[in-house]
Every structure is written in C-alpha cells, then in structure tokens.
Amino acid sequence: MKKILIAWLAVFCLGFSVTGWAFPELTITDREIKQEHYLQVYPKVSIAGELTVSDKINTYFARNAEMAFRQYEEEKAKGVKKTEENKYVKSYYGDKYLSFTANGYMYYHGAAHPLSWLDGVTFDLATGDAIPWQKLIKEEDQEDFTLEAINSKILNSTEKWRSWLYRDFAGLKKLPRIYYLDREGYIHFVFGQYEIATYAAGIIDLNTEKQCK
C-alpha cells in the first residue's frame, strides 16, 4: 500500500511539474503616464527566453500610450477639459497567444455622463504581432464566425443588454473588430456604448463560447 501511495505521489508531482512549466515564465510590470486628470497604465512584458517577442509587444504598448497621451495634450492645449483613464490587464496567456483587455473612461467636464470602453489586444507569441481574431479560429468553428452566425448570437442572446438593443437594429453590417480572450481562451467580442444599443446597455461583452486554437 505504501509503495502504491509513493508511486501515485510521484506521478502527481510529475504532472504538476509539467503543468507548471507548460509556458515560459511571464512577468508583467505596470508603467504609468500620469497627470492631474490623466492616467494611462500599460504593461511591460517579459517572457523568459523570448526577448525579441517581448520587445515587440512592449513597443506596441509604448507607442499606443504615447499616441493617446499626445492626443490628450493636444486637446488640452486647445482648451478642452476632460478626465481620462485607461488600464491594461492580462486576460489570457497560453502556448500561442497573450491577450489583454483595456478598461477606460473619458469624461468631458460639463458632460452629462462619462464614456467608458473595453478594448482588447491579442499577440501571437511566435512573432510578437498583434493579430485579428480571424487568425485564431479553429477550422471546425469557422461557420460560427460568419456575419450571419454572429448576428444570430447577438439577436438571440438572453443577456440583460439584449433588451437595450436599438429598435431598428437588425444585425451588424460588417464583422466585429474588437475582441479579447478570457482566461480559458474563449473569444469575446466587445461593442462599445451607443454602438449597437443605448447607453443604458453599457459595454456589451459577447462570449462566443468558442475557444482559440
């Protein structure tokens, strides 16, 4: 009995070890651009043994952060008063892809309410490139990602936001662009405020219930 327990424990430990080292070690530290009414938090990524890929991902984030801050400064110079915040958070890390969401809001002083958003970006870990969702669809799931299939998913949803869709909304005219991968690798499409529904619907997060390949 003791030998059986030891053998079982060895197998368990081996399995745990393999799982624990399935992907290269990923380290993420936050960088900030901060002013009185502005906050941009973006990641600096370090993937063990993948310096080129890490640098490419970091260049993407740094350039986007710089562009967003430059736009804020230009508006500020013109007398526009607004508060803006944006923060990236890792949503998925697997053997092929690394995905982030970006949660943010913008409030023009004196406006009735702020404008919030949920954005996403997914990187191919073989190249470090940000990639569209079409590149991570499994062959057997292709039919679930046609415009017709996605519209059916939206119009037949049982989520609360379904009742807030515009009355004349009959479906998307083109395929969605913004997406992210959740922690299990499921693909989510994101629709911003006013995009397909009223402000009351908030940000619409559509889980396709299909995992990336």
Using a pLDDT cut of 90, give the percent of the chain over it.
Answer: 89
Task: Inform me whether the pLDDT recorded for 97 exceeds 80.
Answer: yes
Q: Are 138 and 144 in contact (CB under 8 A)?
A: no
pLDDT single digits (tens) 103-158: 999 999 999 899 999 999 999 999 999 999 999 999 999 999 999 999 999 999 99
Task: Inform me whether the pLDDT recorded for 7 exceeds 80.
Answer: no
Mean pLDDT in residue range 71-86: 96
Question: pTM for the whole thing?
Answer: 0.87
Percent of the chain as helix, strand, coil, to the nearest 5 = 35, 35, 30
Alpha-carbon radius of gyration of the chain: 21
Task: Inform me whether the pLDDT recorded for 210 exceeds 80.
Answer: yes
3-state SS class at 155: helix
Q: Which of 98, 94, 116, 100 is nearest to 30 (CA)?
A: 100
Mean pLDDT in residue range 177-185: 98
